[in-house]
Amino acid sequence: MTDLGVATPTVAGAGDKPAAATGKSLSVVALRKTYGPMVAVEDASMEIAAGEFVTFLGSSGSGKTTTLMMIAGFVEPDSGTITVGGRDVTRLDPQKRNLGFVFQQYLLFPHMTVAENIAFPLQLRGVPKDEIRRRVFETLDLVGLSGFGNRKPRQLSGGQQQRVALCRALVYRPPVILMDEPLGALDKKLRDQLQTEIKKIQRELGLTVIYVTHDQEEALVLSDRIAVMRDGRIDQFGTPRELFERPRTPFVADFLGAANFLSGRVEHHTDEHTLVRLDTGGLLRARQHALAKGAPVSVAVQPGRLDVCAPADAFCSGTVQSVTYVGTLVRVVVNVGANCSIRLEVSARNAPQVGERVGITADPDNINLFAAESAG
């Protein structure tokens, strides 16, 4: 184990590569868990590198928490293997895995002070008293809570409690820290603040973190890579950019970017693009796709990748239904047909008027095509 004290203040802002990575790699192979006839997790596999921040993203029931619990050891998988830093831990009790865990409900020990809470895992590991004291102090300092050591958890706010819980999970430098919606119980402002802190600490200490959330924004802010989970399966595992720009399924496209979906048929292929005849009548130029001519397709495009233009240059046009200002951006909803509207996010300078007739355009590279039958 590397020394936390040395690693702390020096590396702030040192870039993507941490000076001293405390985290280890983790690999999950073909994990499966069923509850009776219900399949909770199916064929979950991934390799996570040391010092990587990975998020399991999905709605409730997607299997993200079950997967996390299997890694932690609280849930026993039916099959598959979990390896931490090369050590197979699949059948070990949670207390023998030496992982860190941060719970949504903080779960600080109410009968212990903050310092005692953080010291607890160190005491378990037989760390000498003086060093415990030093490391508890350093860790509290890291989250800006020095001086709170003698308080009882109930005397702290939710955000402070979660910071302490974080301290408690990382003070013994576990190879991997698992976090189960740790900010789920906090309000938006505090959440943003803590996201930044968590990310900063993770970078500085080179922690390997697996983070579970249902909040896409949080996942995008924090993660090196995101595993989007649905119905017990990993739909796609990649960097935020990959997921955003090259979603492998319509679900991913929708979940991350709240994509607009349009349907149509492949009209023909050019050297660079695939042309799609939309059901609304317009012709759409999209990224090249190996779909047969005439095949029904589903078109996904993020609101932020669309722009307004003259109706003549557009792949589709309609009447502006609403315009909402959100800072420098405006959210525009355009009615393009019966019961069919498209959402856009455009620069406030280009904002159209409500009732105005506008066209919609997009860079073909930002348009994703999916075979229609898979568009569930």
Partner 1 sequence: MSVSTPALPAARIRAALASRRTRYGLLTALPVVIYLLVLFVYPILGTLALSLKDEQGGFTLHWYADTLTGINLSVLLTTLRISAETALASLVLGFLLAYAVSRMRPLFAALAMVLVVAPHFVSALVRTYGWIILLGDYGVLNEAMQAVHLPGAPYQLLYNEIGVVIGTTYVMLPYTVLLLYGVMRGVDRRLLAAAASMGAGRLVIFRRIYLPLVAPGLASAGLLSFILSLGYYVTPRLMGGPNQTMIASLIEQQVTKDYRWNGAAAQGVVLLLITFAGLLLLKVVGSLGASAKQRSNS
Residues that bind partner 1 (CB under 8 A): 72-74, 93-96, 98-101, 103, 105, 107, 109-111, 113, 115-116, 120-121, 124-125, 149-151, 155, 168-169, 172, 178
In the complex, the smallest distance separating the C-beta of residue 35 from partner 1, rounded to whole angstroms, is 17
Positive or negative, the Cα torsion across 229, 302, 47, 222? negative
137 vs 261, beta carbon nearer partner 1: 137
155 vs 374, beta carbon nearer partner 1: 155
In the complex, the smallest distance separating the C-beta of residue 138 from partner 1, rounded to whole angstroms, is 18
**How far is Cα 65 from Cα 184, in angstroms, rounded to an integer?**
13
4 vs 253, beta carbon nearer partner 1: 4
In the complex, the smallest distance separating the C-beta of residue 111 from partner 1, rounded to whole angstroms, is 4
155 vs 157, beta carbon nearer partner 1: 155
In the complex, the smallest distance separating the C-beta of residue 84 from partner 1, rounded to whole angstroms, is 14
In the complex, the smallest distance separating the C-beta of residue 103 from partner 1, rounded to whole angstroms, is 6
131 vs 356, beta carbon nearer partner 1: 131
Q: Please choose, from the candidates 167, 198, 168, the residue with its C-alpha nearest in 3D space to the C-alpha of residue 181.
A: 198
120 vs 261, beta carbon nearer partner 1: 120
**How far is Cα 363 from Cα 305, in angstroms, rounded to an integer?**
7
In the complex, the smallest distance separating the C-beta of residue 215 from partner 1, rounded to whole angstroms, is 22
In the complex, the smallest distance separating the C-beta of residue 101 from partner 1, rounded to whole angstroms, is 4
Whether the Cβ atoms of residue 69 and residue 97 lie closer than 8 Å to each other = no
Whether the Cβ atoms of residue 118 and residue 197 lie closer than 8 Å to each other = no
23 vs 318, beta carbon nearer partner 1: 23
86 vs 126, beta carbon nearer partner 1: 126
**How far is Cα 114 from Cα 122, in angstroms, rounded to an integer?**
14
109 vs 325, beta carbon nearer partner 1: 109
Whether the Cβ atoms of residue 321 and residue 283 lie closer than 8 Å to each other = no
Task: Report the chain's terminal Cα–Cα distance, integer Å.
Answer: 47
